[in-house]
Amino acid sequence: MSDATLSSADPLSSDATAEAVPAAPANPGATIDYNYFLDCVHCGLCTAACPTYAELGNENDSPRGRIYLMRAVTDKRLPLDQHVRRHLELCLDCRACETACPSGVQYGKLIEPFRVNMESSDDAERKTNDWFHQWILFWLFPNPQRLKLALWPARLAQKLRLDRLVMATGLWKLLPPRLGRLLTMLPPLDAPLPPLENSYPAKGDRRARVALFTGCVGDAVFRPTHMATVRVLQENGCEVVVPPAQRCCGAIHFHAGQAEPAQDFADQNLAAFTDPEYADVDAILVNVAGCGAMLKDYGHHWKDAQQPARQALANKIKDVSEFLDELGLIPPSGEIRAKATYHDACHLAHAQQVREQPRNLLQQIPGLHMEELPESELCCGAAGTYNLTEPEMAGRLSQRKMGNIAKTGADLVITANAGCLMQIACEARLQDRPLKIMHPMDVLDRSYRGLPL
């Protein structure tokens, strides 16, 4: 892509940057292997896969445009001003461009360290300087105990049906955009289940011994899905262990540019899963796509003495559907009579390259009719905490996703990521659509137990 590709009306155009500009105090691209930039041949095949380009049609909001911008900043041809920052911040890091790219560009290894370096500076322009990041995303979300306490008022509001009143009257729109979006995102909250036990025996002959990663938001909000996952694994002859010392995977911090807290979480997880009581497992299983992608990248993000150990841990990480498909699913017998469609979570399909495995499992459920979802691999707008930090773009993408779901005529939407589950369910409530939105393990569990949806 030439300089002229960027619109001359845009402050990032070649006319505005014909001469070299002074280097930023800390060049965000200085620590990135420059060959990652050179892999991009600017063919543009990634643009159709990019959610922000699909919505905005702005070359600067496409993968090749963002690579061009990052390289130009690294080469000191562009200043890292608010215009450049904004285009990079608007990226969902869904990595759909990696799937589309014929040249094997590792976009995640460009955008993630670049944004970490942007946020590591002492610049007052940092996106994460605000109270929402510091108190909600960084202090509350990664701590399941704090989050569970914070959810009690929400449980009470739901019991009194105040949440329905707020949604029906649109009162949530009067709140600051990020708080309003957070309010609409909460799924129905049942009475909290007891903590998971440290060990669960296999049913029948033991075929494998596995560890389950529980995470933070996943454990606080979706513990029933964790329990369903355990039961499905038991039905398939798996002994399941749950290390109690595990923590948040670190993705919330890392994708917001906060590498050090993310590394702390990574090292705590390394200690938890290498504890002698839990280390002898065939795999460490994850049922949240965003967590799985982060855990699989532990060996890449930090270069220090612990890197080999983190890489060894990352090598044992598998999505639960990936593992069960390899193990060979023992087919469930209970009928689930529903017309369903499957949404590919970005960090499962693109970051982990796990696409067919969940579909293979779901096809073995008696009575379940699967309809292929148009634009299934296009992000729904969740993207970790993107739907809270960029509510306008996230809303556009969730509306687009709901439009495609409506085309299938499905009454059940299945997806393998906590963020996607909340995002799609939120849009269904906003549009008053009577849809069920479930994790594949929840659907399989109901089939094994002979329960209706």
Model pLDDT for residues 335-350, shown as the tens digit of each residue: 999 999 999 999 999 9
**pLDDT value for 188:** 82
**pLDDT value for 17:** 34
Q: Provide the angle, in degrees to the nearest 10, between the axes of the packed helices 177-185 and 162-169.
A: 130
Single-letter amino acid code for the residue at 265: F
Q: Would you tell me how many other CB atoms lie within 10 Å of the CB of residue 82? A: 11
Q: Provide the angle, in degrees to the nearest 10, between the axes of the packed helices 223-235 and 440-449.
A: 60
pLDDT exceeds 70 at position 360: yes
**Mean pLDDT, rounded, for 224-231:** 97
**DSSP 8-state secondary structure symbol assigned to residue 137:** I
**pLDDT value for 278:** 95
Q: What is the pLDDT of residues 127-167, one digit of tens each?
A: 777 888 888 888 989 988 898 888 888 888 888 888 888 88
Strand partners, 284: 211, 317
Instruction: For the chain, list the domains and their CATH numbers.
Output: 3-125 (1.10.1060), 199-325 (3.40.50), 332-449 (3.40.50.1860)
Q: Would you tell me how many other CB atoms lie within 10 Å of the CB of residue 111? A: 22
**pLDDT value for 198:** 97
**pLDDT value for 453:** 87
**pLDDT value for 283:** 98
**DSSP 8-state secondary structure symbol assigned to residue 77:** S
**pLDDT value for 396:** 95
Q: What is the pLDDT of residues 426-449, one digit of tens each?
A: 999 989 999 999 999 999 999 999
**pLDDT value for 170:** 81
Picking from 15, 9, 71, 12, the residue whose alpha carbon sits closest to that of residue 41 is: 71
Lowest mean pLDDT among 18-22, 42-46, 234-238, 386-390: 18-22
What does the alpha-carbon distance between residue 215 and residue 211 come to, in Å, rounded to a whole number?
13
Percent of the chain with pLDDT over 70: 93
* Look-up of token digits 């069960």: 324
**pLDDT value for 13:** 37
Residue 396 near residue 381, CB atoms below 8 Å: yes
Q: What is the pLDDT of residues 49-63, one digit of tens each?
A: 999 999 999 999 999
Lowest mean pLDDT among 138-142, 226-230, 269-273, 310-314: 138-142
What does the alpha-carbon distance between residue 9 and residue 142 come to, in Å, rounded to a whole number?
42
**pLDDT value for 123:** 57
**pLDDT value for 293:** 96
**Mean pLDDT, rounded, for 77-93:** 93
What does the alpha-carbon distance between residue 173 and residue 105 come to, in Å, rounded to a whole number?
40
**pLDDT value for 255:** 86
Percent of the chain with pLDDT over 90: 69
Picking from 207, 34, 159, 160, the residue whose alpha carbon sits closest to that of residue 109 is: 34
pLDDT exceeds 60 at position 95: yes
Mean pLDDT for all residues in the chain: 89
What does the alpha-carbon distance between residue 449 and residue 325 come to, in Å, rounded to a whole number?
20
pTM: 0.88
* Look-up of token digits 């940057």: 17
Residue 424 near residue 343, CB atoms below 8 Å: yes
Residue 312 has which token pair? 């060894």
Q: Where are the alpha helices (DSSP H) in 151-244?
A: 152-159, 162-169, 177-185, 217-221, 223-235
**pLDDT value for 122:** 58
**pLDDT value for 132:** 84
What does the alpha-carbon distance between residue 417 and residue 286 come to, in Å, rounded to a whole number?
10
H/E segment holding residue 212? strand 208-212
